[in-house]
Amino acid sequence: MEDEEYKERPVWRTILAIAFGLFAIVRFGILCHKMNSRPANDGVKINFNESDFQAMPPQSSTISKKAFNKQLYQDYQLLNQLSPSQLKASYITKLAKDSLVGLNVNTWLKISKGSLFQNTHDDSLKFAFKTPKNLNVFVHDFESTFAVNATFKKLKSGNKIKKYRDFLKLSKNTKLVSYSIIQAGVQFKGVAYAFNEGDYYMFIEFESSILPQMELEHQALSYISKHIKGQK
């Protein structure tokens, strides 16, 4: 039986949420279409405003880089109590100022001060961060020969993905999807921006163990609307 938030929702709230982020999402999709094809393991472009940003530690040969990606599923307050060196050991740094991180050659994502930024340099996760409000954001980009839905389900298959459905279709290549996953026994609701051009895929996933699904959808739209920055 589906959760209550998946049942019929007030029409005006759905329209408001869609209208709030639609322009920015469409604009982002257009920018993505303009980018050139590139290998999926290109380095992430970072333009931090804080000069004392510490470089990530060398890659470990004994610990899988993917294992570190689970760290952001812990509570923000718990992670925030760790020392800079402890965070660095998990490829995490706390941003001292608002910062811009490149999504592609045309587009940047603004990450707010106080967020915990992580870049493990693994084979598909471009970067991830956790906001002080316990919102997790993961950005994956890679190449795949499968359809969007099959690709995303495979990406999240290790997290027992459920309730996967299209939330908002924008074009043949661009849409928002909603889902839920289980991480360390805790359910996280999710909303993902899904884009593909040929075999290239990008997913921007917003996940929370606290927010109701509809509120998470609204926050995801709002975040994209306010924080996607096109190249000037």
> Which range in 8-12, 104-108, 138-142 is most confidently predicted, on average pLDDT?
138-142
pTM metric for this prediction: 0.78
Amino acid at the residue 20: F
Domain ranges of the chain: 1-36+114-232
Tell me which fold the domain 1-36+114-232 belongs to.
Protein Transport Mog1p; Chain A (3.40.1000)
pLDDT in tens, 75-104: 999 999 999 999 999 999 999 999 999 887
Q: Which helix (H) or strand (E) holds 24?
A: helix 11-34
pLDDT in tens, 134-163: 999 999 999 999 999 999 999 998 888 999
- Cα distance between residue 119 and residue 101, in whole Å: 11
**Beta-bridge mates of residue 195:** 174, 202
- Cα distance between residue 118 and residue 82, in whole Å: 14
CB 174 within 8 A of CB 195: yes
Give yes or no for residue 9 having a pLDDT over 70: no
The closest of 123, 133, 162, 137 to 40, measured between CA atoms, is 123
Reduced to 3 states (helix: H, G, I; strand: E, B; else coil), residue 215 is helix
pLDDT in tens, 26-56: 555 555 555 444 444 343 444 433 333 333 3
